[in-house]
Copies of this chain bind each other. A is one copy, B any other.
Amino acid sequence: MQTSSPAGRPGRPRNAAADTAILAATRQALVELGWSRLTLGDVATRAGVAKTTLYRRWSGKHELVVDAVAELFDELELPDRGSLAADTEGVVLQFAAILARPEAKSGLMAVVAESTRDDALRERIRTSIVERQKRLVLQGRTRAQARGELPPEADPEVAARTADLIFDMVAGAVVHRTLVSAEPADEEWVRGFTRVLLLGLAASA
């Protein structure tokens, strides 16, 4: 989605409803067809717009799918369940529920794959999807430190590195469980995961 026209720009304004319709149509097409068989002409037909309209707003399949999938993560929130372990389990379960949806599965990995050769696409993914998730990790750590469950971080640089590490471990594990192992990240799995994450491999046995 490029910069819209909020200010008094001359000319006919864009149909805002079309954006919504196009993104919804994209997700529907992802469910029915998957990434590889999804075509922009098909999406345009589903959304009830002309193919040229779609190309005026998105430069291609990749950007469109990033935006369509990003909206799925809007609902992510950090619940306050009273302890770091419970908070972690709650947010991981939310994340897992989103990833379980077919439109997320087929779309997310495809754009990540393409982002390895497209810096602009990676930046788009980072700002509209990844950062939104990482924010929850930072919130959770701050809250846990306030509770005294985690020691306060003196060095902000070390704190940032640790947060990045935790984020990669949490998001990576759920993604791998869901997409590669193709098993559900259900409550039982999340409990085991949280135990290892917080207590370590040796202590959790």
Q: Determine whether the beta carbon of A150 is less than 8 Å from that of B116.
A: no
Would A117 and B176 be within 8 Å (CB), given that A166-B196, A193-B169 are in contact? no
Residues 68-112 of A, flagged 1 when their CB comes within 8 A of B and 0 if not, give 000000000000000010000000000000000010011111101
> Contacting A173 at CB < 8 Å: which of B107, B117, B161, B168?
B168
Task: Flag whether A7 is at the interface (Cβ < 8 A).
Answer: no
Q: Determine whether the beta carbon of B164 is less than 8 Å from that of A172.
A: no
Question: Can you name 11 extra interface pairs (CB under 8 A) apart from A109-B112, A130-B181, A200-B200?
Answer: A105-B113, A112-B180, A122-B182, A149-B202, A151-B205, A161-B192, A162-B205, A171-B176, A172-B172, A175-B175, A176-B176
Q: Cα distance A183–B122 when bound, in Å?
A: 12
CB-defined contacts of A205 to chain B, threshold 8 Å = 150-151, 153, 162
The number of chain A residues touching the other chain, given as a range, is 35 or more
Q: Cα distance A182–B169 when bound, in Å?
A: 14
CB-defined contacts of A130 to chain B, threshold 8 Å = 180-181
Q: Determine whether the beta carbon of B202 is less than 8 Å from that of A198.
A: yes
CB-defined contacts of A183 to chain B, threshold 8 Å = 164
Q: Determine whether the beta carbon of B113 is less than 8 Å from that of A109.
A: yes
> Contacting A165 at CB < 8 Å: which of B107, B114, B192?
B192
Q: Cα distance A105–B189 when bound, in Å?
A: 27
Task: Flag whether A179 is at the interface (Cβ < 8 A).
Answer: yes
> Contacting A34 at CB < 8 Å: which of B107, B116, B196?
B116
- Tell me the smallest distance from the CB of A93 to a CB of chain B, in Å: 15
Residues 185-198 of A, flagged 1 when their CB comes within 8 A of B and 0 if not, give 00001001100111
Q: Cα distance A153–B115 when bound, in Å?
A: 41
Q: Cα distance A198–B176 when bound, in Å?
A: 19
Q: Cα distance A174–B172 when bound, in Å?
A: 8
